[in-house]
Amino acid sequence: MTNTLNTLLAKQANSGTPPWCAYVYDLPALATHAQLMKRHLPRNCELYYAAKANPDVRLLETLAPHVDGFEAASAGELAHLNEQHFGKPLIFGGPGKTTDDLQQALHQKVACIHVESLTELKRLALLCAHTGQNQTIMLRMNITLEGIASSKLQMGGQATPFGLDPCDLGTALALLQESPQLEFEGFHFHSMSHQLSVENHLKLITRYFEITRQWESQWHIRCKAINVGGGIGVNYQCVDEQFNWAEFCNGLDQLITQHDMQTRQIRFECGRYVSAFCGYYVMEVIDLKQSHGQWFAIGKGGTHHFRTPAAQNHNHPVWVHRNGQAGVIHNSTVNIVGQLCTPKDRLHQQLPVQELALGDYLVFTLAGAYAWNISHQKFLMHAAPETIYLD
């Protein structure tokens, strides 16, 4: 990718156009990565893409042949995915689903709805009773996680808005017994995000398997499938030390055998780990200045385009593409900032550089997930970045 991107940047630098910023997506790399993820999974596992990570249509088109389906977390995402006509199953999750949201999901005939509360279950049961439509559902559960190390972002195992408390499971199953239009497929778990440890994630999956088998015995039910969520993280600080998916899948295969889960579908809904690696955000240096002994590089764009560094509160990995101008900064450190009227518009602090000049490009890697789509794009009414797809 580096050679292709360097060629693109060199061509852009010689184009004579005004200062520039862009997202660049390497679609072949995305396809290859998804293929490898799918290939390593055990036979009874499925890979869904969580569209919330990046719903760009070209990325979705690239992923469609290599994933088993797509996960939506809002009515807007459901409609967006439905418009693409991929012919792949859609599953619908997320808290706070309204009656209109659920009606839309029924109208679109989604493969499965992840029910997050008793209220939501009652809403859906009433809708299905009124329409006579059948709907497959999973119950999302917020289980205890004693003895399992937390990740950077914990979504379960404590008081959160997500899923049913286990004490409500009996009530939920009783409601399902009274609702013949609702077909219980199994449980949905998504307790942690930003997981970088294979060992810890295997412990989490073990907990999911154990509690599933326990509840099957306790309530005399059988799960056709369980959804183990996503939550696989991307290491933004040590980019060469990423989550080892192949090692994880080998361990998962052993867990499936140990817990006799071979006849149940194990479903993953991964987002960040699927699409982050294919994306780059590029800013052209439009000003260099010193302030109280520190250098600042002001780039075309900023966190209103690329919110990931602010959202994660980190120095985002970046490299400098030199464009041939004489260096202004030599063997120093520089703060990379954007064009916003706030001191919080920082993408990297104290970046060591050998040389940096006006017109150089700052290339942020790992920008394919939770980046443009989570940014405050209208703030100060700056123009949007260009989007370039490498085929």
Q: How far apart are CA 291 and CA 332, in angstroms?
A: 14
For 391, which DSSP code? -
Q: How far is CA 232 from CA 59, 166, 229, 276, 370, in A?
A: 19, 24, 9, 11, 14
Task: Indicate the SS3 state at residue 111.
Answer: coil
Residue 223 among the catalytic residues: no
**Cα–Cα distance, 216 to 185 (Å, whole number):** 12
The two three-digit tokens of residue 318, written as one number = 């970046």
Q: What is the DSSP string of 310-359?
A: HHHTS---EEEE--SSPPSEEEEEEEEE-SSSSTT-EEEEEEEEEEE-TT
Are 192 and 243 in contact by the 8 Å Cβ rule? The answer is: no
Task: Name 146's Cβ contacts closer than 8 Å, sequence gap at least 6.
Answer: none
Cβ(109)–Cβ(156) under 8 Å?
A: no
Report, in angstroms and rounded to the nearest whole number, the Rg of the chain calculated over CA atoms.
Answer: 23
CB atoms within 10 A of CB 338: 23
- 45, 128, 167, 341: the catalytic one is 341
How many CB atoms are located within 10 Å of the residue 354 CB? 11
Tracing tokens 């992923």 back to the chain, one arrives at 63
The catalytic residue positions are 341
